[in-house]
Amino acid sequence: MGVKVTGAGFPFYTGKGARLQRALINFFLDEARDAGYKEIIPPFMVNEDSGYGTGQLPDKEGQMYQDGEGKDALYLIPTAEVPLTNMYRNVMMKEENLPVKLTGYTPCFRREAGSYGSDVRGLNRLHQFDKVELVRIEHPSQSYAVLDQMVAYVQGLLTKLGLPYRTLRLCGGDLGFTSALTFDLEVYSAAQDKWLEVSSISNFEAYQSNRLKLRFKGADKKKTLAHTLNGSALALPRIMAALLENNQTENGITIPKVLVPYTGFETI
């Protein structure tokens, strides 16, 4: 249906599938709220300066959907990281106002140019998908401890959903050029017999804040670049697929107990 209406990579969710999708979004947002994150509903399009500030431009413009040219150019966001972090572009913060903890649900848009083959079909790789994102702005002395906390937090979400997962620390060659250290969390796909990435959690140290001119001033009046971090908590298409694949019974698909208050049903 999505292929007819829009094209490949734009799925429809209907009936209980749509309610399960909405349940996951609300569950992730409520968990983030309880963990002290402030919920934000950001714009779904950003300008060129915002793309530059978080490192999407001028590197990934081929993967982003663009409307307009030159000063009028706007880009559909590939992740909520972009608008959330750019809220603090050209901001001089006070040290006592750190840390900043933000979360936001958005649809995300990626062209995924060059992605072909059976391994990217279905919900594996989409042009439009939903995601709940975490963004942190931290004192440099705290950023790596916070990175570990964020990894543990996402691991906790996957445990509550009852999904088998593994955690990978990326080697230098696999890191994005903006990241100092990244951990990927992957869930097991029973149907494909492979592990699929559902979250990427990164410490950018001062790379983004240098572009954003995001600084804070301490008691000594010295201006210091903050550290930025972000992580998916979580990307929904592969989570949805993993739930459907790993919870099949003779009576249908069992909904994790933590989601039942959100779905209003226990099986599909």
Inter-residue contact 199 to 241 (CB < 8 Å):
no
Active site residue 125: yes
Inter-residue contact 83 to 50 (CB < 8 Å):
yes
Active site residue 197: yes
Q: How far apart are CA 237 and CA 247, in angstroms?
A: 16
Of 18, 85, 78, nearest in space to 50 by CA: 85
User: Distance of CA 268 to CAs 77, 161, 192, Å?
Assistant: 32, 16, 21
Q: Which of the residues 19, 81, 125, 205 is marked catalytic? A: 125
User: Distance of CA 133 to CAs 5, 12, 38, 106, 192, Å?
Assistant: 28, 22, 11, 8, 26
Q: Which of the residues 200, 202, 209, 232 is marked catalytic? A: 200
Q: Which of the residues 19, 31, 48, 110 is marked catalytic? A: 110
Active site residue 133: no
Q: Which of the residues 33, 121, 169, 197 is marked catalytic? A: 197
Active site residue 238: yes
Active site residue 200: yes
Q: How far apart are CA 206 and CA 138, in angstroms?
A: 10
Q: Which of the residues 19, 136, 215, 238 is marked catalytic? A: 238
Catalytic residues, which ones? 110, 125, 197, 200, 238
